[in-house]
Amino acid sequence: MIRRENVRMYESTESISAIKNRKGEIKRLNSVSQVGINVREISGSNKINIQSHLSAEALFKSPEKPSSFDIEGQCHYFNFSFGQVFWLGPHEWLLSTNNDPREIAAYFKDNVSNDIALSDVTDGYCELSLEGESLLKILKQGMTCDLRDFNLEEDTESNKCVQTNFAKMPVVFWKNSKLSVNLLVRRSYADYLIDWLLEIGSEDGCEILS
């Protein structure tokens, strides 16, 4: 059984969106002649927090699994048969999946062991995609980690992810492609982050897409 974070169950997906419930306000703030960075909220996937003393190799074994080298290690993410797994710390991972959380719970119960804690944290997080020519400039103004390891200006793949601070807020951060990254931020910080991006990106043009 997956423990679920306490949420107001009557809230719709749109009402807890960091962008959709502010479309009118953001549209007025978006009136720029050129756009240096685009910000889009990524929705539709479930986020499952996984904690266990077992190794990643033991937890995420499957016919589609990558090599042991890709699974074990720190500050990275890898593909799993149910989605992507992000390393959060020793004995803790975050699974981003389109599957039903009950299906995930059944899989681990049948294939791994009961020595594992699963929590559905979907409603507690907001995932944002940032991309554009001004991306690196804006990240440097708010990111506390070393961005050089991500090679953001190169068209190369990276499976590196880090937990760091961005605009003084804790985020999980990873590269998608050249000048394109994703941020996972607590939903309670999402409105502030959108406001910060609009303000800091006003010089180069920041467009919030819904």
Q: Delimit the domains of the chain by residue range.
A: 16-44+125-209, 46-122
The least confident of 110-114, 116-120, 157-161, 169-173 is: 110-114
Query: How far is Cα 121 from Cα 51, in angstroms, rounded to an integer?
Result: 13
Write down the CATH number for the domain with range 46-122.
Answer: 3.30.70
Please report the pLDDT score of residue 99 as a whole number: 96
Q: What mean pLDDT do residues 114-134 have? A: 94
Instruction: Single out the residue of 141, 187, 132, 162 nearest to residue 5, CA to CA.
Output: 187
Q: Which CATH superfamily is domain 16-44+125-209 in?
A: Probable tRNA modification gtpase trme; domain 1 (3.30.1360.120)
Give Cα separations from 54 to 58, 137, 164 (angstroms): 6, 40, 25
Query: How far is Cα 54 from Cα 37, in angstroms, rounded to an integer?
Result: 41
Please report the pLDDT score of residue 106 as a whole number: 93
Please report the pLDDT score of residue 2 as a whole number: 67
pTM of the model: 0.83
Please report the pLDDT score of residue 140 as a whole number: 95
Indicate the burial class of 190 (C-beta count within 10 angstroms; 0-12, 13-18, 19 or more): buried
Mean pLDDT taken over the chain: 85
